Chains A and B, each alone.
Chain A
Amino acid sequence: MGLDGMEVIAIIVVIGLFIVVLKQFGIWEPLSLEDDDSTDSDLELSMVRHQPEGLEQLQAQTQFTRKELQSLYRGFKNECPSGLVDEETFKTIYSQFFPQGDATTYAHFLFNAFDMDRNGSIRFEDFVIGLSVLLRGSVTEKLRWAFNLYDINKDGYITKEEMLAIITSIYDMMGRYTLPSVRDDSPFEHVEKFFQKMDRNRDGVVTIDEFIETCQKDENIMASMQLFENVI
């Protein structure tokens, strides 16, 4: 054809651009072997199932009656047929209750509080044991649960940073449109108040004993602990 060098280059460039455009539209994808592997691993993940312990064992571990456990499991199984709740699903579910704000951070902390064996997913046992503490447990147990929630790294101490993270996530759930507007230092002030109240020996951390002791002295907190008893 008698092409010059420049023309060859130009043609190659045009063809290359054409291929790029096709790829952009997703019309032509280069074959790769990894695709098969990834689909296999997807299949594997969805086949992981978890069966809960027997009804009697759960009855022993929690304060729920047999019927309540049955009802709870039916609801749980309907939502999560695989028997496990992963963090993303949990965040999605929890966010539905707070449409105005962003509940994902708080849901993350909540997830860690429920997932006791820290394996990244909540099983039915975790779920029901957590619920049992929250709804049927003694005040001390509930306070212990709350402490466990605030103590992000589960080292037995609540630091100011941990508290700030928790409180910021709670304020996030309020969203933008609030009366009055949430100021940037609102969470910080809240943390300061909390520590002023709870941190007896002013060492900058709150231990479980300080926490339980202070809460037991506060009538408001003690009175409100009974609020959610008849949820189920």
Chain B
Amino acid sequence: MAAGVATWLPFARAAAVGWLPLAKKTMPKPPVDNTSRSDEILYVNVSGVRFQTWKNTLDRYPDTLLGSSEKEFFYNEDTQEYFFDRDPEMFRHILNFYRTGKLHYPRHECIQAFDEELAFYGIVPEIIGDCCMEEYRDRKKENQERLAEDTEANEASDAPLPPHSTSRERLWRAFENPHTSTMALVFYYVTGFFIAVSVIANVVETVPCRPPKGSVKDLPCGEKYQLAFFCMDTACVLIFTFEYLMRLFAAPSRCKFMRSVMSVIDVVAIMPYYIGLVMPENEDVSGAFVTLRVFRVFRIFKFSRHSQGLRILGYTLKSCASELGFLLFSLTMAIIIFATVMFYAEKGTKGSTFTSIPASFWYTIVTMTTLGLVKLDSVLQKHWSQVYHQNFIRLKVRLARIRMAKKGTTNAFLQYKEDRDRDSDSTALCVKNRSAFEHQHHHLLHCLEKTTNHEFTDEMNYSELCMTESVGFRTSRSTSLSSQQGAQNNSTGCCPRRARRRAAMRLANSTVSVSRGSVQELDTLHIKTTSIPPQTRSSLNAQADDLKLNCGEQDFTAAIISIPTPPANTPDESLPPSPAPIPGILRNTRATAYTHDTVKISSL
């Protein structure tokens, strides 16, 4: 439960006195509390540093080590104190959590050490206060990423191969760890060299060389020494193709390999050459072909196999992808807005370069970048993450926490009720290990149940009830009963399921199995009894003057014939004798079946 709730529980229980004059049923007995009443100071010795605190302070969180009886394992009889052989610096933060209700994460501490301390003392990290939650999450994520990288690096270790490895496995290992064998190393360097050559050739191709004899215009070197460049390109592509095919052959999982980033880059780097080979010398397509050659620049990315730094850069970009994405989005938005404004502003003038909105994009981009929008986006990024965390993550975390806490409390209470039902006579002997706080809280909820004479249930049971309700309601709609009576039908319609459950528990009859079947019979009997003329109903009503549920009840009691009657071991409430025998019997059955329901029978 949330902070400080334990402090207010006595107050909430005392305030329950306000329900007593209104209660419909007698209140349950309070749980026996054997612990000593008066508050005392406890001494906690953590590796020599002595802490002192009130016992009540620690009792605030009964589901942690210090708040429960688990701390008795650490009690030192000789020195009359609790001794923990842990870090006293960390303990300070833990103890402050009990004192203030907020857990703070100290920034200078290692995240893993902090997590271990929390785990030892039984505190879930989710309750770290909002002030420190962001920092904690960031550090945790960072740490996990680092661990993942470490494991990855460890996997690709230099351990010797298992003795009976196939040549395929050896080849793969040679590719992944070049420094394991000299051949692999040679290959590694050769490919690196050719990547460099290829990239440089691409660049130099476009440099204007001195024109050949007989021409005035400058030519790019690529066209002057066309053959030379073509040969170089062919050689590089051959090497790359060979390397790619080798890797494909050696890969343990070919599909996975083909989907990996590096393989895609390899393919993209060599495809233009092959496409160019098979392409006819057609004027129309050569324009497109030229564009394809741009992809040759991707060869530079092949260097990332050779350089650790490039890979790290890739990971960094991936990790802040969301922030970058937002940045890009906001820039695009600004560009579109400004470009549109500029276009429409300049529309009328002659000779304007802003012939269309996309044309004014370029102007806008250049202006914005020149004006140092880079500075703006760094500011944006910083505040973006803050705001994002503030509005969305914190809200989500808080809502999740509240939902979890509510669910936890509800489940605990329902569990307590089940235990109580099962052994209704025995008091506190067979209860599970539940703290005093929980006992008292459940007692409080139980008092509320008795006040209103309704019981708590959870969503599952409630939705089951709604299904049986709807069955009953459908049939009653065919009659001309008033809506109130229909509602009464429904409410008592809830009961048979509960009654059957109780019967099954008490008698170990398979009454429950009859439930579905008897619902059917309920339908038919409903229709039958509602055909009774009103005066008969009213005459029955006259008998039952202390029973408010008149018509609906009468219909309903008829339906109970179908249920095998449990033996009347529950005391019958004092009902007036009714004239017709059948309704009388039915009313008896009804009374035994619904000891928990009927508001009307109890004396208020």
Interfacial residues, chain A to chain B (CB-CB below 8 A): 1-4, 7, 10-11, 14-15, 18, 67, 70-71, 74-76, 78-79, 93-94, 96-100, 110, 113, 127, 130-131, 134-135, 142-143, 145-146, 149-150, 166-167, 170-171, 173-186, 189-190, 193-194, 197, 211, 215, 220-221, 223-225, 227-228, 230-232
How many B residues are at the interface, by size bracket? 35 or more
CA–CA, A225 to B341, complex, Å? 77
> Is B39 in contact with A96, judged by CB distance below 8 angstroms?
no
With A14-B340, A71-B39, A174-B454 already in contact, the answer to whether A228 and B448 are too (CB < 8 A) is no
Question: Which residues of chain B are within 8 angstroms of A181 by Cβ–Cβ distance?
Answer: 454, 462, 465, 469, 490-491, 494
Question: Which residues of chain A are within 8 angstroms of B426 by Cβ–Cβ distance?
Answer: none
> Is A131 in contact with B454, judged by CB distance below 8 angstroms?
no
Bits for B478-505, please: 1 = Cβ < 8 Å to A, else 0.
Answer: 0000001001101110110010000000
Interfacial residues, chain B to chain A (CB-CB below 8 A): 1-2, 4-5, 7-24, 26-27, 29-30, 33, 37-39, 54, 56, 99-101, 337, 340-341, 344-349, 405-406, 409-410, 440-441, 444-445, 447-449, 451-452, 454-459, 461-462, 465, 469, 484, 487-488, 490-492, 494-495, 498, 548, 596-597, 599, 604
A-B pairs with beta carbons under 8 Å apart, 23 shown = A1-B345, A2-B349, A11-B344, A11-B345, A94-B8, A96-B5, A99-B409, A131-B14, A134-B15, A150-B18, A170-B451, A173-B448, A174-B454, A177-B461, A181-B454, A182-B454, A186-B452, A224-B20, A224-B23, A227-B29, A228-B14, A230-B33, A232-B37
> Is B17 in contact with A180, judged by CB distance below 8 angstroms?
no
> Is A228 in contact with B13, judged by CB distance below 8 angstroms?
yes
Question: Which residues of chain A are within 8 angstroms of B341 by Cβ–Cβ distance?
Answer: 11, 14-15
CA–CA, A121 to B340, complex, Å? 57
Which chain A residue has the least Cβ–Cβ distance from B5? A96
Q: Which listed residue, B30, B441, B445, B449, touches A227 by the CB 8 Å rule?
A: B30
The minimal Cβ–Cβ distance linking A7 to chain B, given in whole angstroms, is 6
Q: Which listed residue, A177, A215, A224, touches B456 by the CB 8 Å rule?
A: A177
Q: Which listed residue, A14, A173, A179, touches B455 by the CB 8 Å rule?
A: A179
With A170-B448, A189-B548, A193-B604 already in contact, the answer to whether A146 and B17 are too (CB < 8 A) is yes
The minimal Cβ–Cβ distance linking A3 to chain B, given in whole angstroms, is 6
Q: Is the interface of B mostly helix, strand, loop or mixed?
A: helix
The minimal Cβ–Cβ distance linking A142 to chain B, given in whole angstroms, is 5
CA–CA, A105 to B483, complex, Å? 29
Which chain A residue has the least Cβ–Cβ distance from B406? A99
With A15-B341, A178-B455 already in contact, the answer to whether A197 and B604 are too (CB < 8 A) is yes
With A185-B484, A211-B21 already in contact, the answer to whether A231 and B14 are too (CB < 8 A) is yes
Q: Assuming A131-B10, A167-B22, A186-B452, what are 16 further A-B pairs, CB within 8 angstroms?
A: A2-B349, A3-B348, A11-B344, A78-B101, A96-B5, A98-B448, A134-B17, A146-B21, A171-B454, A177-B462, A178-B462, A181-B469, A190-B24, A211-B21, A227-B20, A227-B30
> Is B344 in contact with A178, judged by CB distance below 8 angstroms?
no
CA–CA, A75 to B6, complex, Å? 9
> Is A78 in contact with B7, judged by CB distance below 8 angstroms?
yes
> Is B494 in contact with A100, judged by CB distance below 8 angstroms?
no
With A74-B54, A78-B4, A177-B457 already in contact, the answer to whether A220 and B14 are too (CB < 8 A) is no
CA–CA, A196 to B54, complex, Å? 50
> Is B444 in contact with A180, judged by CB distance below 8 angstroms?
no
Question: Which residues of chain A are within 8 angstroms of B462 by Cβ–Cβ distance?
Answer: 176-179, 181
> Is A74 in contact with B56, judged by CB distance below 8 angstroms?
yes
Which chain A residue has the least Cβ–Cβ distance from B488? A183
Q: Which listed residue, A71, A99, A175, A193, touches B56 by the CB 8 Å rule?
A: A71
With A185-B484, A221-B20 already in contact, the answer to whether A97 and B441 are too (CB < 8 A) is yes
Q: Which listed residue, A76, A170, A184, touches B22 by the CB 8 Å rule?
A: A170
Question: Which residues of chain A are within 8 angstroms of B20 by Cβ–Cβ distance?
Answer: 146, 221, 224-225, 227
The minimal Cβ–Cβ distance linking B472 to chain A, given in whole angstroms, is 12
